[in-house]
Every structure is written in structure tokens, then in C-alpha cells.
């Protein structure tokens, strides 16, 4: 055994000899004789020896181009090798089959195995039929109808699907139990995959296709395709599943016989036929697939129409892309997950994703809450609600599809959340945070929009005949506040989840928060007027000083509140003018549309009219208006007389009044004028008119005046009256 030695002044490891043999006891004995510096230096030398040097930029560039070159080589060399070995394919497969035959007892052994498989399949299928007959009386069987609703269709198809699944489960367990009883483990190694991939999978695919396409029940069909297209798609989908299962079975069979993938390329050709088959289905049934994607929802957008037309080409693109990926992975020798069918599962979910989008639109069309109210506002709110539900469903569906695809490649969410696998992990977390934020954004917007639509549609519509008079009733307080709350919530959600998403990329968001605080402080100092407007608007809204649709006066400016923002309000004058007023410039607000309104009307009658008679007329008119269905619920107090309010040189002024809801007073006033005029005419009452009597001294016989003299007198009297009126107007 060697001996460690060194100097006291500077221990090194250059003269340390490792013990031979290097046993644990010898190592401990050597370390016991070494100083601390010697042990530390030896450890550093060993770590430096095993540490990998950091790659330079040139190394990284060379590595990237090397990977690209290796991938390209794997991509084109794999099909090239398959083409070269194509003439020997039959001979190589014959050798594999001969080897299997020899291991199974020769030709007789193979026939016996096939006979046992046929017996197992036949007995399992018979047991399945017996189980279905026994349980037939236990199940409710619904017959299809031509006027079936979505609920009826789903009930019928789901019950039929569950009956088929029940039969498949009985078949599976019966075949499994019987196979274990009559077959050896070596025979089961061949029979199990054969029955799984070539019998059970196609039957399961047929059950799923029959549930979705319902080729013989057009009234119950869940997708928008005709009978011929439904039968074509179901037939070829089952054939596609059978071909994919055959590919996996053949590759698995060859590997179990000790043949490598490079010896025979039958797996490559069968796998390629799968993608060609998909392209054939997509191209042949492109119109039917577009109709299926289009659906029957009348509220389709241009995006939905584009997706429907593009879907057949998307299927072809997925097939081509997946073929390229599988070819490259096979050329690189990464076939473990391919043998488990990960590429078929990925392709299935990619092809189903657009169809799931159509299913989401169909479900939303039937499950969305009914439209609240009537009119264009309610219709827009209903369509907006549908689109929000669809967008939320799309995000959830995309997340589910990505998770299922990741599981196909043995990638779990825990690998990303706990493994911390670098930038790829951060990118996944970034996308997940954005998806969560988007769902929260849509849910909050959906709730606020539904509440806003409910408030807007429940409000009484503005009468067009009285709209020009102003003073209409406004909306509810929620209808005024919710638009601002929606904008505030949306901005807050976008900012919060954007910062959280940026944080998942490993970026420190503390400087961003500090910068945002400094920016907000700078804006506060530099835009004090803006801050004053915003703060004033908040207090006006808290005080409920005005609402959208109310008629208000602000510093002599009158109009209906048409729009409010975070810093200003817009008033629409009844003549059409629009005034924009910052909240900070509003000294006070006079609201003409809050709760109730009293309108007083004046009528002047001659001196000889009995005021009591007029009072009774007003009372009768008030009772008639209360019973009029046009004004039902509009009156808070009926129209009635307030008695004589003034007596002048013209006649007696009698005043009437009524109390009504804001916005209804003008139509009521118009109706009252009409009825008062008719009632006065029926009762022989005339409205008092201003008269001018001309007294001419010395003229005792006015009837003897000629027409010319009467005209001259009238012109003179008119001039006097006009002069008096002008004089009265000029008085302060």
C-alpha cells in the first residue's frame, strides 16, 4: 500500500499515492494520515477532473447545427432505407413468421393457436350476447323520434352507447378468463395483443363513432352531416383504427420474435398507410367534414366559418406532420413511446380538437341561459354571453387536450411544477398562467355583462314621441356603475395575471412594481386635474347623483346622461347636441328624472264659468286616465283641479296637476290637453281670449260703420296692443 507524504509548508496532492487495492478501509486509513489541506486539495482536483467545461457560443452554435443535421439525416434516411429494403420485405417477414411457427410447434401448432383464438372470440361473443339478452328487460329502451330534442338524442344515444360498452366489457373479461384457461403464457403473448388491437379496439371505435355519427338515426345525430356521409365516416374511422392497431401489433410481433425495426420495414409502410388513409378520408369527405364543423348554430362568426372550411386540410396537415415526426424519431432510434402508440394518441386528440370546438358551440347553444327581455339590447347581450361561454370552453378544451397529449408521451404536470426543467418549464407555466387569467377575465366579464343586460332590458324603453322633451326616466344604479366596474375589473385582471405570468419566466417583477408606483406618482403630480376629475366622478357615483338615461342640468347645460367614463360624462340635449363635462368641473347637478315628477297645467276660462264645474271635469278626466291601459302604472297621483289660481283682465285661471313617473309626464300632458278641450266643447265652455275694445267718442251707432272704417279702427287697435306688449316685454 502506498504512503501519503507532503511538506508542512504547502500540502499538495501530487505526491499522494492511492492505495492498491482501493478498499474502503484503505481509503479511511489514508485520509486519517492526511492533513485537512491535503484532503481539500484532493477533493478539488477530483471535482475539476469530472466537471464539464462551460460551452462557449461557438460550441452552442456547433451543437445546434449538429442537431439539425442529425435530425435531417434521420428524417430522409429512414424512408430511404425502407425503400431500399422494400424488395426484401416479404422474405424478411417470411423468416419472422417461420421462426414464430417453429417456436409454436410448427404448422399444426399455429393452426391450434388460431383455433384457440377463434374459440375464445366465439365463446366471449356468445357470452356477450347472452348477457345482453338477460339484462334487456332491466334496461329502459327509448325509440328514436323525428322530433327529438337534444336531451332526447343524448339520452337515446348514451343508453345505446352504454349497452355497447357493457357488451364490450363482458366480451373482454370473458375472452381474458377463457384465454387464461385454455392457452399457455406463450400463446397468450400472441393472442392477447391480437384480440386487443384487431378486435377490441375497432369495436370500441365503432361504438364511439355510432354514438357521434348515428348513421341510421338522422333525427338523433349530434353532428351536422347527411346519412351517406355519416355512414362513410363511420366505416372508414373503424377501418383507420383497425389499420393503426394492425401496425402496432405487427411491430410488437416482430420485436417479440427478436427482429429489429431495421431488419424489416413493414412497420414503416403500415404506419405510412395510416397517414395516407387519414388524408384520403379528409379529402374524400371534405364537404361533409366542413358541414360537421360548421354546425347548425345561426350565430356563427367568420372565424367559425374559416375553421370549418380549413378543417379537412388541417387533418391532412396533421397526418403529414405526424408522419414527419415519427419518421425522424424512428431514424434517431427513439421508438419506445412510439411502440406504445403515443403518436396515434397525439394525432387523435389533434384531429378531435376542432370537432370538440363544434361540440362546445352546440352545447352552449342549448345550455346557455335564455335571453332576458326583448329588443336589440337583449339580443346583443345573449350573443355576447354565448361567445363568452364558447371562449371559456375553448380554453378549457385546449388545456385538456394538451394534458392528454402530454400523458401520451409520459409527461405529467408534476414534471413541470416540481422538476424545474429550465426555460421549457417556465414557458409552460407562463402559458398556464395566461390561460388561467383569460378564464378569470371571461368569467368576470360574463357575470358583469349578464347583470348589465338584465338591468338594461328590464328598464322601460324611452318613448320616441316624448324623447324630444327631455326629462326621461334613467336606468338603474347598477346599469350606470357596471360598465365602469367591468373596465376596472378587466384592467386589474390583465395587469395582475400579466405580472404573474412574467414572474413564471424567472423575471423579477419587483422593479416593475416599483416602476409602476413611481409612474403612478408622476402621473398624480403631473395630471392633478385628471385625478380631480376621477375622484369627483367616484364621489358622484357613490352619491348616486345621476344615472345613464336621466335628464339633468349641470351649470345651465341640460340633457340626458348618455355615457359616463372614468373622468367625464356626456349629456345629450333634447335638440341633439352632445355636451362632454369633466366631473371636476361640475359644481352641482340638478336631476329631473329621479323617483317622481309633478306637472302643473294652467287653463284660462271666461269670468262667467263656474269653477266647480271645471273641477268636476278635471276629476272625471283624471279617473278616465287612471283606467286607460296606455298609462297603467304611470300615475302616482291622478290629474285633479287645484282651484282658481289667478284672476286677471282676461278671465279666471284654473290650475290642475298630476304626479307621474319620470319620462311619462309629456305623453300624459298631451292626452290631458286633448281631453280637456273635448270636455270643454261638450259642456259649452270656451277658453278665454284676450280682447281689445275700442271706444269712439260721439259714435253711437257702430253698426252704421262701413267696412273701410272698421278696418281702419282695427289696424289702429292692433298697433296700440302691439305697443303695449312690447312695453311689457321691456319691463325688468
Q: Give tens-digit pLDDT for 595-646.
A: 778 888 888 888 888 888 888 888 888 888 888 888 877 787 888 888 888 8
Quote the cell numbers at residue 661.
313617473
How many CB atoms within 10 Å of residue 430?
19
Q: What are the strands of the beta sheet with 635-647, ordered from one edge? A: 597-605, 652-660, 635-647
What pLDDT does 477 receive?
Answer: 57
Q: Tens of pLDDT along 514-552? A: 666 666 655 655 556 666 667 776 767 777 777 777 788
What pLDDT does 68 receive?
Answer: 80
* 72 or 412: which leads in pLDDT: 72
- How many Å apart are CA 494 and CA 346, to the nearest integer? 32
Q: Tens of pLDDT along 275-333? A: 999 999 999 999 988 888 887 777 777 887 888 899 899 999 999 999 998 888 888 88
Residue 344 has φ and ψ, to the nearest 5°, of: -70, -40
What pLDDT does 517 receive?
Answer: 65
- Contacts of residue 260, defined as CB under 8 A and 6 or more positions apart, other chains included, come to none
Q: Which DSSP letter does residue 331 get?
A: H
CA distances for 477 relative to 135, 212, 371, 470, 580, angstroms: 61, 48, 22, 19, 21
- How many Å apart are CA 535 and CA 541, to the nearest integer? 10
What pLDDT does 557 receive?
Answer: 82
- How many Å apart are CA 708 and CA 39, to the nearest integer? 143
Q: Give yes or no for residue 94 having a pLDDT over 80.
A: yes
Helix (H) or strand (E) holding 657: strand 652-660
Q: Give yes or no for residue 485 having a pLDDT over 80.
A: no
Helix (H) or strand (E) holding 442: helix 423-458
Mean pLDDT confidence for 171-186: 92
Three-state SS at 643: strand
Mean pLDDT confidence for 106-135: 91
What pLDDT does 360 receive?
Answer: 80
What pLDDT does 725 receive?
Answer: 60
Mean pLDDT confidence for 385-405: 81
Give the least confident one: 163-177, 192-206, 332-346, 610-624.
332-346
How many CB atoms within 10 Å of residue 560?
23
Q: Tens of pLDDT along 718-731? A: 666 666 666 655 55
Quote the cell numbers at residue 604.
284660462
590-591 and 551-554: which strand pairing? antiparallel
Enumerate the domain spans of the chain: 1-53, 62-102+223-367, 104-221, 371-458, 465-485+493-591, 597-682, 696-732
Q: Say how many CA atoms lie within 13 Å of 508 toward its Cβ.
A: 4
- Whether 687 and 605 have beta carbons less than 8 Å apart is answered as yes
pLDDT band at 65 (very low <50, low <70, confident <90, very high): confident
How many CB atoms within 10 Å of residue 378?
17
- For the segment(s) 597-682, the CATH number from 1.10.357.10, 1.10.3370.10, 3.40.50.1000, 3.30.70.100 is 3.30.70.100
Instruction: Using only the alpha carbons of the chain, give its radius of gyration.
Output: 45
* 173 or 607: which leads in pLDDT: 173
What pLDDT does 371 receive?
Answer: 66
- Please spell the DSSP secondary structure of 525-589, one letter per residue: HHTHHHHHHHHHHHHHHHTT---TT-EEEETTEEEEEEEE-SSEEEEE-TTS-EEEEEGGG-S--
The proportion of the chain whose per-residue pLDDT surpasses 90, expressed as a percent, equals 14
What pLDDT does 724 receive?
Answer: 63
How many CB atoms within 10 Å of residue 211?
18
- Whether 428 and 418 have beta carbons less than 8 Å apart is answered as no
CATH code of the domain occupying 465-485+493-591: 2.30.30.60
Specify the length of the chain in residues: 732
Q: Give yes or no for residue 173 having a pLDDT over 90.
A: yes
- How many Å apart are CA 405 and CA 390, to the nearest integer? 22
pLDDT band at 467 (very low <50, low <70, confident <90, very high): very low
Helix (H) or strand (E) holding 638: strand 635-647
* 537 or 571: which leads in pLDDT: 571
- How many Å apart are CA 124 and CA 191, to the nearest integer? 14
The highest-confidence range among 105-114, 582-591, 705-714, by mean pLDDT, is 105-114
The highest-confidence range among 70-74, 236-240, 479-483, 557-561, by mean pLDDT, is 236-240
Mapping DSSP onto H, E and C, the string for 176-214 reads HHHHHHHCCHHHHHHHHHHHHHHHHHHHHHHHHHHHHHC
- How many Å apart are CA 30 and CA 27, to the nearest integer? 5
Average pLDDT of the chain to the nearest whole number: 77
- Whether 249 and 336 have beta carbons less than 8 Å apart is answered as no
- How many Å apart are CA 305 and CA 424, to the nearest integer? 34
pLDDT band at 239 (very low <50, low <70, confident <90, very high): very high
- How many Å apart are CA 127 and CA 505, to the nearest integer? 57
- Whether 445 and 486 have beta carbons less than 8 Å apart is answered as yes
- Contacts of residue 184, defined as CB under 8 A and 6 or more positions apart, other chains included, come to none
Q: Give yes or no for residue 134 having a pLDDT over 60.
A: yes
Amino acid at each position: 500500500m502506498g504512503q501519503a507524504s507532503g511538506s508542512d509548508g504547502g500540502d499538495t496532492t501530487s505526491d499522494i499515492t492511492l492505495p492498491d487495492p482501493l478498499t474502503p478501509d484503505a481509503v479511511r486509513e489514508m485520509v486519517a494520515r492526511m492533513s485537512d489541506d491535503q484532503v481539500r486539495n484532493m477533493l478539488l482536483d477530483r471535482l475539476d477532473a469530472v466537471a464539464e467545461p462551460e460551452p462557449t457560443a461557438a460550441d452552442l452554435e456547433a451543437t445546434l447545427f449538429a442537431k439539425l443535421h442529425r435530425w435531417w439525416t434521420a428524417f430522409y434516411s429512414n424512408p430511404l432505407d425502407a425503400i431500399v429494403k422494400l424488395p426484401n420485405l416479404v422474405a424478411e417477414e417470411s423468416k419472422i413468421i417461420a421462426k414464430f411457427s417453429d417456436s409454436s410447434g410448427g404448422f399444426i401448432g399455429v393452426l391450434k393457436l388460431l383455433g384457440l383464438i377463434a374459440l375464445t372470440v366465439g365463446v366471449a361473443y356468445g357470452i356477450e350476447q347472452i348477457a345482453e339478452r338477460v339484462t334487456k328487460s332491466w334496461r329502459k329502451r327509448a325509440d328514436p323520434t323525428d322530433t327529438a330534442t337534444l336531451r332526447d338524442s343524448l339520452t337515446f344515444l348514451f343508453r345505446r352507447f352504454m349497452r355497447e360498452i357493457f357488451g364490450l366489457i363482458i366480451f373482454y373479461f370473458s375472452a381474458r378468463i377463457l384465454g387464461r384457461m385454455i392457452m399457455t403464457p406463450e400463446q397468450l403473448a400472441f393472442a392477447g395483443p391480437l384480440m386487443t388491437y384487431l378486435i377490441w379496439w375497432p369495436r370500441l371505435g365503432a361504438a364511439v363513432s355510432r354514438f357521434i355519427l348515428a348513421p341510421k338515426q338522422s333525427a338523433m345525430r349530434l353532428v351536422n352531416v347527411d346519412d351517406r356521409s355519416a355512414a362513410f365516416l363511420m366505416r372508414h374511422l373503424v377501418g383507420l383504427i383497425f389499420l393503426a392497431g394492425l401496425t402496432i401489433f405487427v411491430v410488437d410481433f416482430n420485436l417479440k420474435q427478436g427482429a429489429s425495426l431495421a431488419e424489416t420495414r413493414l412497420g414503416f409502410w403500415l404506419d405510412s398507410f395510416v397517414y395516407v388513409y387519414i388524408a384520403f378520408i379528409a379529402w374524400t369527405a371534405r364537404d361533409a367534414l366542413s358541414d360537421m364543423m360548421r354546425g347548425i348554430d345561426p350565430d356563427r362568426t367568420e372565424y367559425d366559418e374559416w375553421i370549418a372550411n380549413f378543417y379537412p386540410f388541417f387533418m391532412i396537415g396533421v397526418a403529414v406532420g405526424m408522419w414527419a415526426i415519427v419518421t425522424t424519431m424512428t431514424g434517431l432510434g427513439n421508438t419506445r413511446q412510439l411502440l406504445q402508440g403515443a403518436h396515434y394518441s397525439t394525432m387523435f386528440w389533434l384531429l378531435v380538437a376542432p370537432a370538440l370546438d363544434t361540440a362546445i358551440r352546440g352545447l352552449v347553444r342549448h345550455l346557455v341561459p335564455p335571453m332576458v327581455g326583448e329588443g336589440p339590447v337583449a339580443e346583443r347581450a345573449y350573443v355576447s354571453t354565448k361567445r363568452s361561454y364558447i371562449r371559456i370552453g375553448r380554453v378549457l378544451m385546449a388545456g385538456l387536450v394538451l394534458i392528454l397529449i402530454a400523458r401520451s408521451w409520459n409527461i405529467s404536470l408534476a414534471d413541470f411544477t416540481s422538476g424545474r426543467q429550465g426555460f421549457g418549464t417556465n414557458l409552460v407555466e407562463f402559458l398556464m398562467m395566461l390561460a388561467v387569467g383569460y378564464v378569470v377575465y371571461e368569467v368576470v366579464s360574463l357575470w358583469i355583462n349578464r347583470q348589465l343586460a338584465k338591468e338594461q332590458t328590464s328598464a322601460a324603453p324611452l318613448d320616441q314621441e316624448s324623447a324630444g322633451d327631455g326629462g326621461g326616466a334613467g336606468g338603474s344604479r347598477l346599469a350606470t356603475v357596471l360598465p365602469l366596474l367591468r373596465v376596472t375589473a378587466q384592467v386589474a385582471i390583465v395587469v395582475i395575471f400579466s405580472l404573474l405570468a412574467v414572474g413564471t419566466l424567472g423575471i423579477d417583477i419587483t422593479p416593475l412594481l416599483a416602476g409602476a408606483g413611481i409612474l403612478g406618482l408622476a402621473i398624480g403630480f403631473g395630471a392633478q386635474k385628471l385625478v380631480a376629475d376621477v375622484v369627483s366622478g367616484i364621489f358622484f357615483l357613490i352619491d348616486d347623483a345621476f344615472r345613464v338615461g336621466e335628464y339633468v342640468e349641470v351649470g345651465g347645460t341640460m340633457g340626458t346622461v348618455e355615457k359616463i367614463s372614468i373622468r367625464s360624462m356626456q349629456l345629450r340635449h333634447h335638440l341633439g347636441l352632445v355636451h362632454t363635462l369633466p366631473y371636476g368641473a361640475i359644481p352641482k347637478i340638478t336631476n329631473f328624472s329621479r323617483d317622481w315628477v309633478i306637472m302643473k297645467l294652467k287653463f284660462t276660462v271666461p269670468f262667467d264659468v263656474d269653477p266647480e264645474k271645471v273641477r268636476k271635469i278635471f276629476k272625471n278626466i283624471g279617473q278616465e286616465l287612471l283606467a286607460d291601459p296606455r298609462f297603467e302604472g304611470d300615475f302616482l297621483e291622478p290629474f285633479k283641479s287645484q282651484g282658481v289660481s289667478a284672476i286677471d283682465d282676461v278671465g279666471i285661471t284654473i290650475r290642475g296637476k298630476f304626479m307621474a313617473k319620470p319620462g311619462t309626464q309629456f305623453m300624459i300632458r298631451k292626452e290631458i290637453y286633448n281631453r280637456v278641450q273635448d270636455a270643454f266643447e261638450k259642456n259649452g265652455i270656451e277658453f278665454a281670449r284676450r280682447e281689445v275694445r275700442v271706444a269712439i267718442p260721439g259714435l253711437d251707432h257702430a253698426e252704421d260703420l262701413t267696412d273701410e272704417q272698421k278696418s281702419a279702427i282695427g289696424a289702429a287697435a292692433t298697433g296700440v296692443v302691439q305697443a303695449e306688449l312690447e312695453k311689457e316685454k321691456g319691463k325688468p
